[in-house]
Amino acid sequence: MDRELHICHLYYDILNLYGDNGNIRTLEKRLAWRGIGSKVTQLSFGEVNRDEDYDIIFIGGGQDFEQEILVKDLFDHKEQWLKEEIEKGTVILGICGGYQMLGKYYEAADGTRVDFLGGIDVYTTASDKRMIGNFAYEYTKENGETFPIVGFENHNGQTWLGDGVKPMGKIIKGYGNNGEDGTEGARYKNVFATYSHGPLLPKNARIADELLEIAYERKYGEQLPPLEHEMEDAALNDIRQQLGC
């Protein structure tokens, strides 16, 4: 029984600042340690092969410079595919730039707008607030269970959630989406979008497993077997202690 999840690392070569590759590594390992395989496909510019079936799509963060080149390719080659993936419930993780890009647009200080995918009901405005530092937020699962997520944010875009979208979490410490409404990130269907670098998944094993659980159950109709996360928790608790939360 050779089970495997297929992960797409979108824009792997442009949106990969801040060690976001660590997120891919975490997914691969937390599957491998459960005896489940994974295949990672790196996608950059150009057409997407629609015969490929992805269980998880990951989009990281990047520099503004690269985001410009990206937008053209987004509309030329990725728009339809990504919107369909979002709507049909594929697990999608977007970090920082990747998060913003899934939203409707980015508005600069002078009012000019750059259109983004429009896949989730959020938009981002430029601000001169530099929202940077270790931060923490509370995530709530479907069953009401909550757990804290700790990461590092570094952005001056303020993201605002529309009606159709829930936040990914409630801010415990730091700024989050905009430093004003106490929300962090966005959740829509199986899209998980957040400003959290760190990288996000390694020490936040619960959210890593949440993504894997959803993707695995969608594909195989079975529950993902459990896996310990002691060392992950040790790292999480250590930074929580340092942050005083």
> What are the residues binding another protein (CB under 8 A)?
13-14, 16-22, 25-26, 29, 63-66, 68-69, 132-134, 152, 154, 197-199, 202-203, 231-232, 234-235, 238-239, 242
Query: SS3 of 89, please?
Result: coil
* Closer residue to another protein (CB): 78 or 104: 78
* Closer residue to another protein (CB): 19 or 182: 19
In the complex, least distance from residue 163 CB atom to another protein, rounded to whole angstroms? 33
Peptide bond into 199 cis (omega under 30): yes
* Closer residue to another protein (CB): 161 or 193: 193
The one-character DSSP state at 144 is S
* CA angle in degrees (0–180, nearest 5) for 138-25-99: 50
In the complex, least distance from residue 162 CB atom to another protein, rounded to whole angstroms? 28
**137 pairs with which residues across the strands?**
149, 171
Residue 22 CA to residue 217 CA, distance in Å, equals: 23
* Closer residue to another protein (CB): 20 or 85: 20
Q: Which of 167, 173, 236 is nearest to 206 (CA)?
A: 236
In the complex, least distance from residue 217 CB atom to another protein, rounded to whole angstroms? 24
* Closer residue to another protein (CB): 127 or 134: 134
Strands 186-188 and 191-194: antiparallel
> Which residue numbers are catalytic?
96, 197
The one-character DSSP state at 223 is P
In the complex, least distance from residue 210 CB atom to another protein, rounded to whole angstroms? 18
Chain position carrying tokens 């409707």? 104
Cα-to-chain-centroid distance, residue 49: 22
Q: Would you say the C-alpha torsion 62, 66, 67, 71 has a positive or negative sign?
A: negative
In the complex, least distance from residue 234 CB atom to another protein, rounded to whole angstroms? 5
